[in-house]
Amino acid sequence: MALANIGLRKVGDLYWSIPMMSERQRHNVPKLEQSWVYSRVDALRPNDLPLGVEPAADNNVMKIMEDCLFMRTAAGSLYGGRRSMSWWAVVVTVFVWLSFFAMEYLNYKIAVKKTEFNGDFFMFYSQYWYFSCGVALFFLVGCSIFFIPWRRQLPIIFNRKTKRVTCFVDNEILSEEWNSLDAYIKDVTTVAAGGAPINEGILTLAFHRWGFDGKQLRAVIMGTQDAPEAMANRGIYSAAMVWEYIRLYMREGPTAVPPIAPIFEYRLTGIGDPFRQFNPFKFLKVKIWWYPIAVPFFLFVALPLAPVAIAGDLLYYALDCILPRRKWPQELIDACDGVWDGRE
């Protein structure tokens, strides 16, 4: 049977249900919302029929309350939180420092053998510590540009009591009726490590306000990535999932939406989390016929890199506690009757 006759569309390798065009109103996609990086763009409205996907969210949710849903912008997801660009910058910094630390240990062994150095390693390292620490610090400072959007992020607030959406875009506070909002889910083609193309889904909210440059103001939310359905089928499907999550919340409230399901919490909830999540012995908990692959991976990958990930995660947590955060504008605080101002 043809896909058009049963109301299914193909996204990647998965078919997901969308009501047939005779049932679901089709909205035009403005040229401004289209680009060569978007392989597909769908225009949606809050009162449209359901898309036929499971509502789901992960770290794109900042906080959920009785009357307000605080969503994280795409920049906040991309640059902030664990597994983000700023987190990887810190973890790689630790890797750089440990690499040069190991080189200093080799130099110590050579010095003991060839120059008859009589001190211990820490005495030797105290003479050259500035090199390994300096290189690591230089790398961290060079990546500090990733920290700016992380610490300056502001939420998109969906208030189901007032039926308004409020956010901060281009130094302006935008507030608009929920039912008049224009939304677009997009399949974005990006490049993964190694140069392989991958698809990501984003949700764009277009407000009926224009900036000084004449462009319509919009806010962007990353699609859900950690839900099993989204992991199986990347791209626009994940954007549809977060859109349905927001719509379900606005209709029925926080008890109706499923719990958020991130693989890693946006920030640590306890000091023991990195030791549990990056425990290398987890890779040995497999069926015995997987041991020819699991054992070498454990010995040569998981075991050496686990301390790097744990130390980097703890350092990132320390930076999260130390680095200042942007103070929310009073208009954002008032958008949900002052129940939250961004502080934990």
* Structural tokens at position 174: 């935008």
What is the percentage of the chain residues whose pLDDT exceeds 70?
91
Of 259, 258, 203, 215, whose CA–CA distance to 46 is shortest?
203
pLDDT at 25 over 80: no
Mean pLDDT across 226-234: 85
Q: What pLDDT, on a 0 to 100 scale, did the predictor assign at position 189?
A: 78
- For the four alpha carbons of 4, 7, 9 and 14, in that order, the dihedral sign comes to negative
* Structural tokens at position 255: 């008890």
pLDDT at 19 over 60: no
Q: What pLDDT, on a 0 to 100 scale, did the predictor assign at position 26?
A: 80
Q: Which residue has the higher pLDDT, 332 or 24?
A: 332
DSSP string, 288-303: GGGHHHHHHHIIIIIH
Cα 165 from Cα 158, distance rounded (Å): 5
Q: What pLDDT, on a 0 to 100 scale, did the predictor assign at position 202?
A: 95
Q: What pLDDT, on a 0 to 100 scale, did the predictor assign at position 11?
A: 44
Give φ, ψ of 268 to 5 degrees. Answer: -60, 140
Structural contact between residues 64 and 249, judged by C-beta atoms closer than 8 angstroms: yes
Burial 225-249 (b: 16+ CB within 10 A, else e): bbbeebeebbbbbbbbbbbbbbbbb
Of the ranges 133-147, 184-198, 209-223, 230-244, which one carries the lowest mean pLDDT score? Answer: 184-198
- For the four alpha carbons of 169, 172, 173 and 178, in that order, the dihedral sign comes to negative
Mean per-residue pLDDT over the chain, rounded? 88
Domain spans in the chain, listed from the N-terminal domain onward: 13-80+153-266
DSSP H stretches of helix in 19-146: 74-79, 85-114, 121-142
- What's the pLDDT tens digit per position in 151-172? 999 999 999 999 999 999 998 9
Structural contact between residues 310 and 274, judged by C-beta atoms closer than 8 angstroms: yes
Mean pLDDT across 94-109: 93
Of the ranges 6-10, 26-30, 60-64, 259-263, which one carries the lowest mean pLDDT score? Answer: 6-10
C-alpha separations of 172 from 3, 207, 293 in Å: 44, 12, 54
Exposed/middle/buried for residue 192 (C-beta within 10 Å: 0-12, 13-18, 19+) = exposed
Q: What pLDDT, on a 0 to 100 scale, did the predictor assign at position 196?
A: 54
What is the percentage of the chain residues whose pLDDT exceeds 90?
69
Q: Decide the pairing of beta strands 172-177 and 164-169.
A: antiparallel
Of 310, 314, 252, whose CA–CA distance to 277 is shortest?
310
Exposed/middle/buried for residue 72 (C-beta within 10 Å: 0-12, 13-18, 19+) = buried
Q: What pLDDT, on a 0 to 100 scale, did the predictor assign at position 10?
A: 47
Name the range with the highest mean pLDDT among 107-111, 316-320, 336-340.
316-320
- What's the pLDDT tens digit per position in 137-147? 999 999 999 99
- What's the pLDDT tens digit per position in 32-67? 888 888 989 999 999 999 999 999 999 999 999 999
